Amino acid sequence: MKKINLLGSTGSIGTQTLDVIRSHPDQFEMMAMSFGKNSDIGSHQANEFRPEVISVADTETAVKLKKLLDYNPRILTGSEGLSEAACEPADMLVNAVMGRIGLEPTLQAIEHGMDIAIANKETLVTAGHLVTKAAMRNGVKLLPVDSEHSAIFQCLHGNIEKEVSQLILTASGGSFRDFKREELKGVTVKQALNHPNWSMGAKITIDSASMMNKGLEVIEARWLFDMPYDLINVILHRESIVHSMVEYIDGSVLAHMGTPDMRVPIQYALSHPMRLDLNGGQRLKLWEVGKLHFEEMDFERFRLLKLAYDAGKEGGTAPTVLNAANEAAVSLFLKDQIHFLDIETIVERALNDHNHVQEPSLEQIIDVDLNIRTAIERDKK
């Protein structure tokens, strides 16, 4: 029985993680969970899985939650509560929260010797050098949950990494993949949230439409697989059937294929190195798909992807700036306070204006992140 701590239980990845645990009650046990303020959904989850520790955003949510529970767990609040829930004795932490808030709990769970199933992109994007060093020092595994990184992880299994020629991440192209740049000027939030293949949270869906999501994944891949940026490539693949590929030096290409179902990579991260039945999951039938399409990525069309590569190669605090500026800009777009293309402008300006620090400490990363967000929010008031 593998004991699990889950951060971000009411989000898209969190709820699908619970689907996996629900399907295999003999394999997994929930020890701790966290969510923000959605006490209605969170209470149902808690009453079903009965974790010993629950962390929520604030005291008001904690009071509401306590009234909705039919048992008496330890309820924590705020960032300290999130870290305490992450470090509850367990075998694995599933980090499914959105944003940089997931960084400190991950680092603390690593110090407690827990393997990390990582769905929180920002943890590796903002502090990949700190997280990977901590994982190596404590002998813990970083297991990818993103479908693309899980695909690469599986395609690398059993092969010598020195024989790798390149990693190939696939991108659906998001809601606006068929739009020319001039056609993006008037797009709405509703249009941006209409992803053609995946059902995801609002922020990640906007990132998919702008291709920032793929840029963050490129930076993640650099840290997860210790691969230089020049050997990490992105191609457009509309069907989201091939989740990613690895090319080897002899020209062989190994591809991981499956239906667009996030429960598959989540379950593999939880059960690794074993595989479990995906109860109720749809099986891939290639004869029904018929054709698969692949296109070269256009960096002029998807400027945020180019900025992500540039920030990753710059290193230091540049990825922190990239991520913080993008999160702040996406938040403004979702509130209809800026236009879609303004996201690019805000991110590029933040990168150009910042004096980057190489090998930043955790404290420096937190300061840079806060300063970038504060400056962007201040400018829009």
Concatenated DSSP letters of 70-85: SS--EEEEHHHHHHHH
* Residue set of the binding site: 10-13, 36-38, 120-122, 146-148, 172, 195, 201, 208, 213-214, 217
SS3 335: coil
CA distance 287 to 17: 29
SS3 7: strand
| Cβ atoms of residues 307 and 211 within 8 Å | no
Binding residues for NADPH: 10-13, 36-38, 120, 122, 201
**Which residues belong to the annotated binding site for Mn(2+)?**
146, 148, 217
373-377, long-range: CB < 8 A, 24+ apart: 373/324, 373/327, 373/328, 375/350, 376/325, 376/328, 376/329, 376/332, 376/346, 376/350, 377/328, 377/332
Two tokens, residue 283: 């099986």
**CB of 133 closer than 8 Å to CB of 114:** no
Kindly state the helix (H) or strand (E) to which residue 244 belongs, with its residue range: strand 242-248
> Can you say which residues are annotated as belonging to the binding site for 1-deoxy-D-xylulose 5-phosphate?
121, 147-148, 172, 195, 208, 213-214, 217
